[in-house]
């Protein structure tokens, strides 16, 4: 019979407790991770939007959602996006610029819907939140020499 010391018990249970904390408080973990660049946030956005609007809403500002509360935005967007059968492919960052708490990212991405497929350039405007994390504040179609960068 093996007798566990206090150190063995703490080591064994410490991993379980850490995992439990991680699962219960993912926002706190996110705040401890090295901050993502605005380009990283846009690339992460492509992995959740439009299929996981719950996660996508957490990456946006109230301004992006046109002042609509998070759950109301999800409820309104879900049937529209499902009807469009909107899908984003793997995007490529063409430009990334950070000035203080604001950033601009230009992304070239294949997009498809029931209407067809196209490669689009999108201009993402991001703002840095109080926690130091970047949030998508606006997305526009990028047309060279038309969009004002700052």
66/26 same-domain check: no
Sign, CA dihedral 122-48-31-73, equals: positive
12/56 same-domain check: no
Question: Residue 22 belongs to what domain range?
Answer: 1-33
In a domain, 105, yes or no: yes
Alpha carbon distance 137, 64 (integer Å): 5
For residue 49, give both structure tokens: 């939007």
83/135 same-domain check: yes
Cis peptide before 112 (omega within 30 of 0): no
Q: What is the pTM of this model?
A: 0.73
Rounded to the nearest angstrom, the gap between the alpha carbon of residue 77 and the centroid of all alpha carbons in its chain is 16
Task: Tell me the CATH number at 61.
Answer: 3.10.450.100
24/39 same-domain check: no
In a domain, 94, yes or no: yes
Alpha carbon distance 107, 123 (integer Å): 7
pLDDT tens, residue by residue, 58-116: 999 999 999 999 999 999 999 999 999 999 999 999 999 999 999 999 999 999 999 99
3-state secondary structure of 87: strand
In a domain, 148, yes or no: no
């Amino acid at each position: 019979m093996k007798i566990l010391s206090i150190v063995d018990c703490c080591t064994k249970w410490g991993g379980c407790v850490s995992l439990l904390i991680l699962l219960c408080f993912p926002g706190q973990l996110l705040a401890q991770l090295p901050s993502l660049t605005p380009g990283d946030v846009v690339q992460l956005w492509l992995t959740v939007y439009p299929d996981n609007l719950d996660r996508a809403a957490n990456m946006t500002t109230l301004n992006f959602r046109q002042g609509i509360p998070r759950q109301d935005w999800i409820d309104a967007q879900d049937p529209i996006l499902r009807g469009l059968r909107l899908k984003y492919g793997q995007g490529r960052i063409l430009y990334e610029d950070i000035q203080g708490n604001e950033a601009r990212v230009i992304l070239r991405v294949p997009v498809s819907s029931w209407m067809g497929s196209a490669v689009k350039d999108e201009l993402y405007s991001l703002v840095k939140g109080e926690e130091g994390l970047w949030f998508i504040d606006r997305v526009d179609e990028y047309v060279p020499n038309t969009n004002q960068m700052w």
